[in-house]
Amino acid sequence: MNFGVFLFLIVFSLLLIILALSITSSFMKKNYRLFEPKISVIIPAYNEEKNIKKCIQTILKSNYDKNKLEIICVDDGSTDRTVKVIKELSKKNKNIRLVKGNHKGKSKALNLGIKNSKLNYVLTVDADTILDRNFIKEIIRPFADKNVGATNGIVLIRKPKKIIEHFQLVEYYFNNLIRNSFSTIFDNGIWFFGAAACFNKKILEKAGLFHDKVLTEDMDISLKIFEKGYKVLTVRKAVYYTQGCRNLNELFSQRMRWFFGGLQCTFRHKKLWKRKAFSIKYLFFNQVFWALFSIIIIPMVIYQVNYWMPSEGLLSTFSYLFRWFSLAGPVYVLYKIPDWGLSLINIFGVLSGIIMFIIIIFSITKFKGRINLQKLLVAFFYFPYTLILNLILTSAIVKYTFSKKKHFIK
């Protein structure tokens, strides 16, 4: 078995695991009993005058008892009208409090809000996040089980308009499916998204709160909570919306932070690799494999595209590139099997492309998304988007390799 076959065998296996778990989880339902304690909602904000009012309004419009909510807005040294907006809202609602920080970053702002919290449960919400009306009621329910340390919800892109936002939306559907499937089957989620997440305050403090020396503080705290022996869950019915990256520069900046932070957490918590939990083993293997894959896939694609490039004319070249960078490629290979015969790399490559398309469509329908022409086109041309993500991940690996602060010390 040559290296290319081995590589695509792993890709195929990882996708097959996701598909199998996704289908299995669809037959399993998590019915958490009603649990409605008082909650501190903490919103860290830095120069969020355009977003924070709408964020707070969605919290106030939720179907959760407003008398059970205290909203703590932590201003992290904003230089715009953020403080003024918060003060105006607090005059109309006694549940809103303003706490001022000194621009020390999101983690410090979150910790400051937690220290000012008076209640046993903490919901952290990014200032540019919009909560679904049922979000709070659903995100808190699992805490009826005292072994639950943290919960996060299903994140979607808010009103996508640009092509790049539609690709992110489909990517989020895909990630939501993975997180929800693992949480449902193994009673422990992976890839914790902290833009809107809930915590048992005592367990959060026991885990050491948020660390400011890691770029993905949400992933770090979820692993620390798991390390302490508590459950970290993804709640399917807790839906919220975030602003997508509007151009490649924003996407590059965001994903560099995510991928670099992911590498920090992977090596910071490497002692968890020894745990028997399948979800954790999958998480770490997935992180390491895709990091290595990202380094290999770009030059491999460039070489393969150039090597087989036709020379018959413009139409032939366009047709060739169209097949390479869309689902038409795997379908075309299936069509040509009678002429080309079967090979392991064709089998695993073709099946990986087809399974990926099936998973994407399945993920959209699972979270009540509407299958339309836009989403079908995005799924059809999803491969080039993955190459962009792999390029960003490669950049993060290079930065991580030569960074003096690869991970933080306790």
3-state secondary structure the chain: CCHHHHHHHHHHHHHHHHHHHHHHHHCCCCCCCCCCCCEEEEEEECCCCCCHHHHHHHHHCCCCCHHHEEEEEEECCCCCCHHHHHHHHHHHCCCEEEEECCCCCHHHHHHHHHHCCCCCEEEEECCCCEECCCHHHHHHHHHHCCCEEEEEEEEEECCCCCHHHHHHHHHHHHHHHHHHHHHHHHCCCCCCCCCEEEEEHHHHHHCCCCCCCCCCHHHHHHHHHHHCCCEEEEEEEEEEEECCCCCHHHHHHHHHHHHHHHHHHHHHCHHHHHCCCHHHHHHHHHHHHHHHHHHHHHHHHHHHHHHCCCCCCHHHHHHHHHHHCCCHHHHHHHHHHHHHCCCHHHHHHHHHHHHHHHHHHHHHHHCCCCCCHHHHHHHHCHHHHHHHHHHHHHHHHHHHHHCCCCCCCC
Residues 212 and 87 both lie in one domain = yes
CA angle 327, 332, 336 (to 5 degrees): 155
How many Å apart are CA 326 and CA 56, to the nearest integer? 41
Residues 9 and 118 both lie in one domain = no
Residues 231 and 82 both lie in one domain = yes
Domain that holds residue 98: 32-246
Cα dist from 353 to 126, 232, 321, 382, whole Å: 35, 31, 16, 10
Its pTM stands at: 0.91
pLDDT tens-digit profile, the chain (410 residues): 577 788 889 999 999 999 999 999 999 887 888 999 999 999 999 999 999 999 999 999 999 999 999 999 999 999 999 999 999 999 999 999 999 998 888 999 999 999 999 899 999 999 999 999 999 999 999 999 999 999 999 999 999 999 999 999 999 999 999 999 999 999 887 789 999 999 999 999 999 999 988 889 999 999 999 999 999 999 999 999 999 999 999 999 999 999 888 888 888 888 888 877 888 888 888 888 988 999 999 999 999 899 889 888 899 999 999 999 999 999 998 888 888 877 887 788 888 999 999 999 999 999 878 899 999 999 999 999 999 999 999 998 888 777 665 443 33
- Taking phi over 0 as left and psi of -120 to 50 as alpha, with beta for the rest, 368 belongs to left
Residues 171 and 306 both lie in one domain = no
Residues 293 and 234 both lie in one domain = no
Q: How distant is the alpha carbon of residue 23 from its chain centre?
A: 20
How many Å apart are CA 110 and CA 43, to the nearest integer? 8
Cα dist from 308 to 25, 89, 227, 311, 317, whole Å: 41, 62, 49, 9, 10
pLDDT at residue 406, as a whole number = 46
Residues 340 and 396 both lie in one domain = yes
Residues 15 and 43 both lie in one domain = no
How many Å apart are CA 315 and CA 312, to the nearest integer? 8
How many Å apart are CA 267 and CA 284, to the nearest integer? 9
Residue 61 lies in a domain: yes
Q: Are 117 and 35 in contact (CB under 8 A)?
A: no
Residue type, 407: H
Residue 409 lies in a domain: no
In degrees rounded to 5, what are phi and psi of residue 221?
Answer: -70, -35
| Gyration radius of the chain over CA positions | 22
Residues 303 and 154 both lie in one domain = no
pLDDT at residue 409, as a whole number = 34
Residues 196 and 337 both lie in one domain = no
Cα dist from 72 to 100, 225, 247, 313, 410, whole Å: 10, 23, 32, 64, 28
Residues 195 and 340 both lie in one domain = no
In degrees rounded to 5, what are phi and psi of residue 150?
Answer: -155, 150
Residue 267 lies in a domain: no
Cα dist from 290 to 263, 294, 402, whole Å: 11, 6, 19
Residue 377 lies in a domain: yes
CATH number for the domain harbouring residue 46: 3.90.550.10
Residues 110 and 139 both lie in one domain = yes
How many Å apart are CA 232 and CA 268, to the nearest integer? 18
Count: domains in the chain:
2
Residues 130 and 234 both lie in one domain = yes
In degrees rounded to 5, what are phi and psi of residue 242?
Answer: -130, 165
CB atoms within 10 A of CB 20: 12
